[in-house]
Structure formats: C-alpha cells, structure tokens
Amino acid sequence: MKSEHKNAIVADKIATVILYCIAGFFLLLLAGFTAYIIVKGIMAYQPGIFSFERTGIGVELFNTVYLVLISLIISVPIGVGAGIYMAEYAKAGKVTNYLRICIETLSSLPSIVIGLFGYLVFIYMTGSKYNLFAGALAVSILSLPLLTTVTEDAIRAVPSIYKEGSLAVGATHWQTIVQICLPVATPRIITGVILAAGRGFGEAAALLYTAGMSSNVNLNIWNPFDPMSLLCPFRPGDTLALHIWALKTESMTPNADQIANFSAAVLLVLIFAFSLGSRLLGARLDRKMSGK
Amino acid sequence: MNKKIKFNTKNLDLYYGDFQALKSINLEIYEKEVTAFIGPSGCGKSTFLRCLNRMNDLIDSVKIEGEIIFEGQDINGDIDVINLRTRVGMVFQKPNPFPMSIYENIAYGPKCQGVKDKTQLDTLVKESLVKAALWEEVKDRLNKSALGLSGGQQQRLCIARAIAMQPEVILMDEPTSALDPIATAKIEDLMSKLKKDYTIIIVTHSMQQAGRISDKTAFFLMGEVVEFNETPVIFTNPADKRTEDYITGRFG
Ligand SMILES: Nc1ncnc2c1ncn2[C@@H]1O[C@H](COP(=O)(O)OP(=O)(O)O)[C@@H](O)[C@H]1O
Ligand SMILES: [Mg+2]
C-alpha cells in the first residue's frame, strides 16, 4: 500500500518532467525558427527593399494585406452567419449532420484543390485574368469552415443564463442572438478570425492560379477601377508568400535569395502584428463587458 | 377581499421526454399577493414556474398537457409569447445581469420593444431602479458594467430589469439562494413593497422565507401539489400529513 503510493508520486514526477521537456523542446524549436528567419531577414536588408518598384517588395506587401482584408470581408460575415445558424437554428437531424460532414470535408481539402477549383470557377469560367479578388475568394473558401466552427462553438459557449435573461424580458430570438450572444462570443470569434487571416497571409497554393504570380501596376493611376491601379482588386497580384516561393524557385534576379529572406521576415512580423492587434482588441472588448 | 385570479392552471401535466415532471397541477394564483412554492429539490417547482412565462419552450423535449389560464387566455394556445413575457417577468436563481452597463441592462428590454426616446428610457431606468431599491447605490455609476456590482446588487438589478417592462406578474426562482443574509433581507423587504403593484410568485428552499413574505404557499412533492393554502394555515395547521412532515423537517 505504502510503496504503491510512493510509486504513484514518482510516476507523477516523471510524467511532469517529460511533459515539460516536450513543451520546452517545441518552444525552443519555435524560437529557433523565428530567430533564424528574423536574423536572416535583417542580414538581407538593403536600402529600397520596401520600394514599389520591381526591385522592392512594396507591392507584394500591399497585395498581401489587401487580399487578406478582402477575403475577411467576404468570409467573416458568411462564416459567422453559418456558425450562428449551426448553433441556434439547425435542428438535430439528417440535414444538419450532412452539413456538418460537408464543413469537415471542406476544412480538410488540400489548398491546391481549392486553388484549382478557384481557377476553374473564378478565372476560366468567368473568362477573366488572374486577379486578387479571385484569390481572396479562394482564401475565403479555405477559411470558411474554420470561421463557422469557431463561431458555432463560441455561440454555444455563451452561458444560457444570459440567453434566458434576455428572452425573459420579451426579446426575440434574433434580438437575443445579435445583442447578447454575439457580443459575448466576440473575443472567441476574434481568435477564429486571427487564424483565418493567418491562413490568408501564409497561403500560396490556393493563390497560384487565382491571384497569379506577378503584379503589374502603374503607381500613377489611383482610379480603383483601372486594372493597372494598385487599388484595383481585379488585377493580378502576388502576395509575399507566393513571392518568396517564386524567388526561391525560378527567379532570375541576382539577389533573389536576399529578397526572399527579407520577405519571410516581413511576413512573420506582419502576422505577429495582426495577431497582437486583434488580441488587444479582443481583450479590450472583454474588459469593457466585465467592467474590470 | 375579493381578489382577482391572475393565473389558473387546470390539470397541468408536463413531460421531459418520457419523464413526467408535473402531475395534474391545479392552482389559482391571486393578484397582488406573494405566492410561495416550497418542496424538496427536484419536485418540479422551477419547472412549474417556467411554464408561466413559457420559458420551457427552450427545451425541445418538453410536452405540456392541460391548461394554464392567464387573464382568461390559455397561454399554451396561439398567443404572442413575446407579449406574455413582457407581462410576466422573471428573476433567476443566479443573478444574471447582461455584460453591459447598468443603464443598458435596464433599457435593454424596453429597447427590444422599440422604445427609442432617450428621455423616456432615462425615466424608465430611474423609476425601475428606485422601485428595486437600487437607485441610491448606483446613480453615479449607471454607465459602469453591471458585472462590477455585488451579488445582492446584481439581483436587485435583475428585479429592476423585470420591473422596467411594467409587468403584471414577477416570477422569482430562488432569488436569494446565492446571496448572503443581509442581501437576502433587502430582497425580502423589497418583495413586500412590490406586492402592492405586482403579483409575485416565488420559489424558495427556505421555509422561513416563505413564512416571512408570502400570503399563500403551495407545497410541491414529486411533481404534485400536495397542499395549497394561506401561508399561516400551511405552517400551523397543514391538512396533509406529508406537508406536516416537510414543515417540521422530518424529510426533504
Ligand atoms: N431540462 C430537463 N430535462 C429533463 N429533466 C429535467 C429538466 N429540468 C428538470 N428536470 C427534472 O424535472 C424534475 C423537476 O425539476 P425542477 O423543476 O428543476 O425541480 P425543483 O425546481 O423543484 O428543484 C427533476 O426531477 C429534474 O431532474
Ligand atoms: Mg429549482
């Protein structure tokens, strides 16, 4: 009896140490990668690298942010709407189960498949050239399942006492969802949006045949309807991730490696800044609601 | 002396799936009185209370038979549920203010009914808080989050939130079970004032509380109403042996 107890304590200690080791290993790995990318990026810095000319990555940086923004504008309302439907309206049954299988399948499709689907539907069938908007649509398809599931979980996690309190003063189901459930669920939904945006920032395969691998803009044109304008979403545009890939595989420029390394660091910082910003926003909303 | 009947149930049965939680309940709730429901936990008090504002609609498995007449209308028939809930307010066991400001908590219900006028809302908020004996404590912090209030204050806020709808009936499900004795005393005080204007139905696990504040008491046991009478009668001269056993603490 006594020794059994001792064994349990030893086992507990060993398990703790092992878990710490695994966690530490991954933390180290992550820190190593990050440091490697950042250091290589800094070393590759050269004046004018942010320029919007051919030698700089200004256009690619802009494209990346622009494409992610457009895709969020498309995917967040649809994903959140679908999540609300799944949490609040979908009745348990065959149709809902089928829908759930569809969402799960969609979430595990390789992004190149989505890219080719995007090419077929948004480029080939519409007869248009590669363009940022088509890329944004492809990325939206990629992030929709995630946004839907996160929203559904977030809405389901809203304490039922809030919902009951709202219905008890004569609010309708819809009023309750919009004015009580959604605000309470927002911090969690924001986490989903960060993840979705992360997919957009890092995506390459889905953009290959939708947004295209090059940009051709004239910085003197500011009319967003002109396909040569930087602001036009219906022009071909390569994002940073794709740019890195292109530079590393088939570029003729002599300092392609340098630019790729620097781009990688910029992309990393961009994603970090976006996550941090969204999290701060979420924390602020949270604080406002809890009155701390 | 001839008080009006507000709620009247006839042979009310309620099932959660196959489980029968209420068995042929016949009760009359009189206007501008406090009616208390007592009984061991799990005997169906909350279930019955939640029938009166159709809160059980939220639970898919619930099936109801029999009638619940409110002001001459069967509320399980084809009625406007939203309208019913504005006339029959509810206060829950755990204080549940919304995660918004004190002001917004009270203005929420009226706003959902389409009240937009700022001055009208202002007066409504103030009047409700005054009636719920909370105004003096919060008048300087109306725009602060309601979650920063103490438990007792939160519960009075929930009462104010119900009052803001100008209801006829207020249902309370063990409203003081999460509160300390001082906060409890304040709420009990409040209830005896509120019964001048409202019909109050309260579920309580405390027999002393029922004795202190209620005019009539119903004793529930395993889904049935064993006895329903004037509170003093229930406590001093119960007709049923089971009521007496419960009152004297011999079970439950
Ligand atoms: N949502 C539900 N689904 C199934 N059974 C329930 C549900 N809510 C309550 N019950 C059952 O109904 C009975 C009465 O519950 P309740 O009305 O909450 O009792 P009380 O409020 O008197 O403690 C209990 O046996 C309880 O387990
Ligand atoms: Mg109960």
For chain B, which domains are there?
Answer: 5-247 (3.40.50.300)
Q: Do A169 and B162 touch (CB under 8 A)?
A: yes
How many CB pairs lie under 8 A apart between chains A and B?
78
Q: Do A161 and B94 touch (CB under 8 A)?
A: yes
Q: What percent of chain B has pLDDT over 90?
A: 93
Whether the predicted pLDDT of B1 surpasses 80: no
Contacting residues of A for B161, CB less than 8 Å apart = 165, 169
pLDDT on residue A264: 94
pLDDT on residue B138: 96
Confidence of residue A254 (pLDDT cuts 50, 70, 90): confident
Taking CB atoms and a 6 Å cutoff, what residues make up the pocket around ligand 1?
Answer: B 16, 19, 21, 39, 41-47, 59
The residues in B 125-144 lying below 8 A from A, measured between CB atoms, are 144
Q: Ligand 2 center to residue B16 CA distance, Å?
A: 15
Average pLDDT, chain B: 94
pLDDT on residue B212: 94
pLDDT on residue A219: 86
User: Please, which residues bridge with residue B8 across strands?
Assistant: B28, B69
Looking at A86-95, A215-224, A235-244, B202-211, which range is the least confident one? Answer: A215-224
pLDDT on residue A243: 92
Q: pLDDT tens digits, residue range A174-189?
A: 999 999 999 999 999 9
C-alpha distance from B146 to closest chain A C-alpha (Å): 7
Whether the predicted pLDDT of A160 surpasses 80: yes
Q: Ligand 2 center to residue A62 CA distance, Å?
A: 58
What would the mean pLDDT of A199-217 be, rounded to a whole number? Answer: 90
Which of A169, A183, A184 lies nearest to residue B109, judging by beta carbons? A169
Q: pLDDT tens digits, residue range B103-155?
A: 999 999 999 999 999 999 999 999 999 999 999 999 999 999 999 999 999 99
Q: What percent of chain A has pLDDT over 70?
A: 98
A278 exposure class (CB count in 10 Å sphere: 0-12, 13-18, 19+): middle
What is the enclosing helix (H) or strand (E) of A45? Answer: none
Whether the predicted pLDDT of A152 surpasses 70: yes
Q: Do A161 and B96 touch (CB under 8 A)?
A: yes
ipTM score for this prediction: 0.94
Longest dimension (CA), chain A: 84
- Name the residue with tokens 């549920």: B81
Q: Do B108 and A171 touch (CB under 8 A)?
A: yes
CB of A127 within 8 Å of a chain B CB? The answer is no
Average pLDDT, chain A: 92
Whether the predicted pLDDT of A66 surpasses 90: yes
Handedness of CA A181, A182, A184, A185 (dihedral sign): positive
pLDDT on residue A214: 84
What would the mean pLDDT of B33-61 be, rounded to a whole number? Answer: 95
Whether the predicted pLDDT of A252 surpasses 80: no
pLDDT on residue A110: 93
pLDDT on residue A223: 87
Q: Whose C-alpha lies nearest to ligand 1, atom 18?
A: B46
Residue of B15, B18, B46, B58 with the most ligand 1 atoms within 8 Å of its CB, for mutation: B46
Ligand nearest to the CA of B50: 1
Nearest to A71 by CA among A132, A1, A156: A132
Q: Whose C-alpha lies nearest to ligand 1, atom 2?
A: B16
Protein fold of A49-290? MetI-like fold (1.10.3720)
Q: Do A179 and B85 touch (CB under 8 A)?
A: no
Confidence of residue A47 (pLDDT cuts 50, 70, 90): confident
C-alpha distance from B3 to closest chain A C-alpha (Å): 26
C-alpha–C-alpha distance, residues B209 and B123, integer Å: 32
Whether the predicted pLDDT of B6 surpasses 70: yes
Q: What is the pTM of this model?
A: 0.88
Confidence of residue B200 (pLDDT cuts 50, 70, 90): very high
Tokens standing for residue B49: 């209370």
CB of B165 within 8 Å of a chain A CB? The answer is yes
C-alpha distance from residue A269 to each of A176, B9, B21 (Å): 39, 67, 59
Q: Whose C-alpha lies nearest to ligand 1, atom 3?
A: B16
Q: Ligand 1 center to residue B57 CA distance, Å?
A: 14
C-alpha distance from residue B210 to each of A52, B49, B189, B201, B251 (Å): 78, 16, 13, 11, 17
Confidence of residue B251 (pLDDT cuts 50, 70, 90): low
Looking at A53-57, A110-114, A263-267, which range is the least confident one? Answer: A53-57
Q: Ligand 2 center to residue B38 CA distance, Å?
A: 10
Looking at A253-257, A263-267, B136-140, B207-211, which range is the least confident one? Answer: A253-257
C-alpha distance from B125 to closest chain A C-alpha (Å): 14
Which of A169, A288, A292 lies nearest to residue B89, judging by beta carbons? A169
Nearest to A63 by CA among A263, A289, A261: A263
CB of A290 within 8 Å of a chain B CB? The answer is yes
pLDDT on residue B24: 95
